[in-house]
Amino acid sequence: MNHHLLASVLPSAPGWLPIWQLVVASAAIFNAIQNYATLTLTKRLYACAPHLVNPLQARAFGTWTLTSAVIRGYAAYHIHNKAVYDIAIFSYLIAFGHFTSELLIFKTAKLNGPVLSPFIVSSLSMLWMITQYDFYVSQ
């Protein structure tokens, strides 16, 4: 793929945040697909209660993850739109809340690699978006 073709499909807004949104959205698409195809990775995520992971739950989780991918992908290309920016921040807050509650309240997850990844991505993304809010939304 040549440089011009790659540049034509990447978000045009300045900075790395739009690219990050695209990377996270792409990873979420993979995660959604794997939730429809297999229970293996989802059982690793909910390692303290893998017996609760079933095809219906995995597909629902996959659908939720695909919705997050759409929101974050849209944010990558419309990062200056206040409503889109706000919804993207909330999508990270929801993900952080979900994994925190599964770890601390429902105790279905344990602090391992599969859980650390969404914690790191959601918390860093929220912090990054909040600190860059005025730069992207005020333009």
pLDDT digits (tens, 9 = 90+) for 91-127: 999 999 999 999 999 999 999 989 999 999 999 999 9
Question: Quick one: pLDDT at residue 4?
Answer: 73
CB atoms closer than 10 angstroms to residue 30: 12
Q: 114: which 2 tokens?
A: 């599969």
pLDDT at residue 10 tops 70: yes
Q: To 10 degrees, the CA torsion angle through 76, 34, 44, 103?
A: 40
- b/e 16-27 (16+ beta carbons within 10 angstroms → b): ebbebbbebbee
Q: Which long-range contacts (CB under 8 A, 24 or more apart) does 66-69 make?
A: 66/28, 66/29, 66/32, 68/25, 68/28, 68/94, 68/95, 69/25, 69/26, 69/28, 69/29, 69/32
**Three-state secondary-structure class, residue 94:** helix
Question: Quick one: pLDDT at residue 8?
Answer: 77
Q: How confident is the model at residue 139 (pLDDT cuts 50, 70, 90)?
A: low
pLDDT at residue 1 tops 60: no
What does the pLDDT average to over 59-86?
98
Question: Quick one: pLDDT at residue 67?
Answer: 98
pLDDT digits (tens, 9 = 90+) for 75-90: 999 999 999 999 999 9
What does the pLDDT average to over 27-42?
96
pLDDT at residue 18 tops 60: yes
Q: How confident is the model at residue 56 (pLDDT cuts 50, 70, 90)?
A: very high
